[in-house]
Amino acid sequence: MRFPKRIRHRGAVKATIYGKSKAYPLHRVSWTPEEGKRPLQAFPSYGEALKHAQKMAQDVGNGQAASLTATIIKGPGIRGPV
């Protein structure tokens, strides 16, 4: 599989999934809400990352992601690179 994966909503790229690397062994999801900051959240599996990216792309496309950036929670056991 090739990365980064761009997730589109109504034709525009709203979220991006970055693959694992030696330096960072987790899949990362980034999206751009209206206020312009790009939050980044990590997931151990591609399936979880894809599900979250699709939800964020839909929320950003509908203008609902502004309130979501304040409530980002890291998953259990995710502390960064090993």
DSSP 44: S
Question: Looking at the chain, how many residues does it have?
Answer: 82
The domains of the chain are located at 5-66
| pLDDT confidence of residue 41 | 92
| pLDDT confidence of residue 69 | 47
Residue pair 75/81 in contact (Cβ under 8 Å)? The answer is no
pLDDT band for 25, please (50, 70, 90 cuts): very high
35-61 pLDDT per residue, tens? 778 889 999 999 999 999 999 888 888
Q: Give the whole-number percent of the chain exceeding pLDDT 90.
A: 41
> What value does the mean pLDDT of the chain take?
80
